[in-house]
C-alpha cells in the first residue's frame, strides 16, 4: 500500500496506474466482495508475496537469516529490554537501533518485519495500523528515529513487552469517537505516496484501508460500498481526501435503507452514483420492499464508543 506498494513493490499488474485524482461515478453489476483478508492479500500483493498493513511483504516461509540491520541476530533470544513503569529515552533509542537499517537512520521494510515478529503480531493486523498512528508515521514501511522514539514516549513504553502491554488500551482508544476520527483521517494520509505527490488514494489501496480501519466497528453499508468500488469501472481510479472524509459522515447520518439520502445535499458525486447503484441492486434482489435485516436495535445508537457486537448484522428478528 501507499509508499511501500508503489515504491518498494510496485506491482503494476494488480494495482494499475499510480495516479488517482479522478473519481467519476458510473454503474456496474456487483459481485460479492471477498473477505477482508482475501481482498487485502490479493490487492496488496506482488506475485511473490503479500504487501502487509505496515507496507512490508509477508512470505509463506522465512528461511533466510535476519536482514542486515544495524543490530542483527536473534532479537528474541537477545532480548535485554524489560517492561518499566518509567519511560526511558535511552532504552527507546536502543530498541530503535535494534531494527534500524544499517545505512539509513530509520527502520525500513525488513526491520519492520522483524519488529512485528518480535511483537508477535501479523503485519496485516489492525494493531499495526494503530502503532503507525501512535507513532505518527509519515511513510509506510518506515519509522524514522524521531517517529519511533516519540511514539514510544506517547505509549510510555520502551521495550517490546512494554509496547505489547499497550495493545489493549490502544484498541480501546480507537473505539472513542474523536480518537477514531483522528485515526481515520490519519489512515488516508498514511496511504498516500507523498514523494510522488499523490493527492488521492488508488482505489485498491482505499478499499484495503477501509476494511482495515473499520476492523472494530464495521458500518452497515461497508460491504456494499466496497463492492461498488471494486466492481465498478476503471474510471474510478482514485479516492480523494474529501470522499474519504465524507464517507465517515455518510455512515453516521444515512440510514440502512438509504431513504434519507438526498442528491441535493453536498455529497461527493460518487455517493450519488453509489446510492443509485445500490437501490437498483436491492430492487433486482427484491429487497426494496422488505425490511432490511442489516443492523441490530443499536443501529440508532451512536456508533462510536460501542463494542463491535452492537453493529453485527442480524439474520433473524
Residues 196 and 157 grouped into a single domain: no
Kindly report the number of other CB atoms within 10 A of residue 129's CB atom: 23
Are 169 and 193 in the same domain?
no
DSSP letter (8 states) at residue 226 = H
pLDDT score for 69: 56
* Pair (208, 166) in one structural domain: no
Q: Confirm whether 156 is domain-assigned.
A: yes
Please indicate, yes or no, whether residues 135 and 190 belong to a single structural domain of this protein: no
Q: What's the total number of domains in the chain? A: 2
SS3 assignment, position 107? strand
Residues 139 and 168 in one domain: yes
The residue from 153, 174, 195 where one domain ends is 174
CA distance 279 to 277: 6
Distance of alpha carbon 255 from alpha carbon 245, whole angstroms: 18
Q: What is the CATH number of the domain that holds 111?
A: 1.10.238.10
- Whether 265 is covered by a domain: the verdict is yes
Residue that terminates a domain, selected from 126, 151, 174: 174
| Nearest Cα to Cα of residue 104 among 53, 139, 154 | 139
Residue finishing a domain among 133, 150, 174: 174
Number of H helices, E strands in the chain: 14, 7
pLDDT at 197: 81
Domain-located, residue 219: yes
**In a domain? residue 76:** no
pLDDT score recorded for residue 141:
86
- Does 266 map to a domain? yes
pLDDT of residue 34: 45
On whether both 153 and 208 belong to a single domain, the answer is no
Domain containing 94: what range?
A: 86-174
What's 214's domain CATH number?
A: 1.10.238.200
99 and 124 assigned to the same domain? yes
Residue 162 lies in a domain: yes
d(CA 147, CA 215): 24
Q: pTM for the full model?
A: 0.69
Query: Tens place of pLDDT for every residue, the chain, 317 residues?
Result: 433 433 343 333 222 333 344 444 433 333 444 444 444 433 333 333 344 454 444 443 333 344 455 544 444 444 444 445 689 999 999 999 999 999 999 999 999 999 999 999 988 899 999 999 999 999 888 999 999 999 999 999 999 999 999 999 999 999 999 999 999 999 999 999 877 788 999 999 999 999 999 999 999 999 999 999 998 866 687 999 999 999 999 999 999 999 999 988 999 999 999 999 999 999 998 755 444 444 434 444 444 444 344 434 344 44
CA distances from 196 to 2, 3, 106, 188 (A): 10, 9, 20, 15
* Residue 53 to residue 190: CA distance in whole angstroms: 11
Instruction: State the Rg of the chain over Cα.
Output: 21
Tell whether 197 and 282 lie within a shared domain: yes
154 & 195 share domain: no
Domain assignment present for residue 27? The answer is no
Nearest-angstrom CA–CA distance, 10 and 111:
19
Domain membership flag for residue 217: yes
Amino acid at each position: 500500500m501507499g509508499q511501500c506498494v508503489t515504491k518498494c513493490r510496485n506491482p503494476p499488474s494488480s494495482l494499475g496506474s499510480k495516479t488517482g485524482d479522478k473519481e467519476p461515478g458510473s454503474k456496474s453489476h456487483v459481485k460479492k466482495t471477498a473477505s477482508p483478508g482475501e481482498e487485502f492479500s490479493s490487492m496488496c500483493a506482488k506475485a511473490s508475496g503479500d504487501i502487509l498493513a505496515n507496507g512490508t511483504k509477508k512470505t509463506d516461509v522465512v528461511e533466510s537469516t535476519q536482514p542486515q540491520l544495524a543490530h542483527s541476530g536473534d532479537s528474541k533470544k537477545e532480548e535485554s529490554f524489560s517492561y518499566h513503569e518509567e519511560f526511558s529515552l535511552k532504552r527507546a533509542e536502543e530498541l530503535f537501533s535494534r531494527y534500524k537499517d544499517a545505512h539509513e537512520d530509520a527502520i525500513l521494510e525488513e526491520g519492520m518485519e522483524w519488529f512485528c515478529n518480535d511483537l508477535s503480531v501479523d503485519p496485516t493486523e489492525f494493531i499495526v495500523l494503530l502503532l503507525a498512528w501512535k507513532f505518527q508515521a509519515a511513510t509506510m514501511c518506515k519509522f524514522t528515529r524521531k517517529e519511533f522514539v516519540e511514539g514510544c514516549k506517547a505509549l510510555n513504553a520502551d521495550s517490546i513487552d512494554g509496547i505489547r502491554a499497550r495493545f489493549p488500551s490502544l484498541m480501546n482508544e480507537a473505539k472513542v469517537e474523536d480518537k477514531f476520527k483522528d485515526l481515520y483521517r490519519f489512515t488516508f494520509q498514511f496511504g498516500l505516496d507523498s514523494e510522488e505527490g499523490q493527492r488521492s488514494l488508488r482505489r485498491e489501496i482505499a478499499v484495503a484501508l477501509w476494511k482495515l480501519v473499520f476492523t472494530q466497528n464495521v458500518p452497515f453499508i461497508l460491504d456494499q460500498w466496497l463492492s461498488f468500488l471494486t466492481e465498478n469501472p476503471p474510471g474510478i481510479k482514485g479516492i480523494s481526501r474529501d470522499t474519504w472524509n465524507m464517507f465517515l459522515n455518510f455512515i453516521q447520518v444515512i440510514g440502512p435503507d438509504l431513504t434519507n439520502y438526498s442528491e441535493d445535499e453536498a455529497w461527493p458525486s460518487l455517493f450519488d452514483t453509489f446510492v443509485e447503484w445500490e437501490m437498483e441492486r436491492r430492487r433486482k434482489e427484491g429487497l426494496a420492499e422488505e425490511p432490511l435485516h442489516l443492523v441490530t436495535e443499536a443501529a440508532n445508537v451512536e456508533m462510536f464508543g460501542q463494542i463491535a457486537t452492537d453493529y453485527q448484522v442480524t439474520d433473524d428478528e
